[in-house]
């Protein structure tokens, strides 16, 4: 999902001392190539990674080379990363807990009462990891 604008990243356009990359490990090398080494030089780089897998894929290990530390949204992911990460791993929880809207109920959405299950995923993401077909 990398926009073509990523290719225009330049150190001069980024005057801050910290890079916060809200990009998962699988895409960070592509972002780093688009940004160039200059984008990282003299800056503290943090990766904010969201995903829920028990084992970190070997093919993603190069992502650590671009970072000084990793933040995750859950202790589950942090625990999976800590044994193999060469950089500090911290759990930084999402700080906002939205309240459900009071004005909506199932009737307003034409949904029957009783058990309801919703499964949502980004089909352009890693399809096999989402198992929407329930065939595993």
d(CA 29, CA 98): 33
| Residue 95 structure tokens | 């700080």
Instruction: For residue 2, give the nearest of 36, 33, 31 by alpha carbon.
Output: 31
What tens digit of pLDDT does each residue of 34-64 get? Answer: 887 888 889 999 999 987 778 888 999 999 9
| Residue 85 structure tokens | 């990460």
According to the CATH classification, is domain 4-97 in 3.40.50.11930?
A: yes
What tens digit of pLDDT does each residue of 75-125 get? Answer: 999 999 999 999 999 999 988 888 877 777 788 888 888 888 887 777 666
Domain spans, the chain: 4-97
Q: Look up the pTM and report it.
A: 0.67
């Amino acid at each position: 999902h990398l926009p073509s604008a990523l290719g225009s990243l330049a150190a001069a356009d980024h005057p801050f001392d910290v890079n916060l990359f809200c990009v998962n490990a699988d895409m960070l090398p592509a972002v780093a190539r688009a940004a160039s080494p200059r984008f990282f030089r003299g800056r503290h780089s943090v990766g904010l990674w969201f995903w829920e897998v028990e084992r970190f894929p070997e093919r993603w290990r190069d992502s650590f080379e671009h970072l000084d530390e990793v933040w995750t949204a859950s202790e589950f992911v942090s625990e999976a990363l800590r044994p193999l990460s060469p950089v500090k791993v911290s759990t930084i929880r999402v700080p906002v807990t939205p309240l459900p809207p009071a004005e909506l109920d199932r009737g307003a959405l034409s949904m029957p009462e009783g058990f309801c299950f919703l499964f949502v995923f980004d089909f352009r993401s890693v399809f096999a990891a989402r198992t929407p077909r329930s065939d595993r």
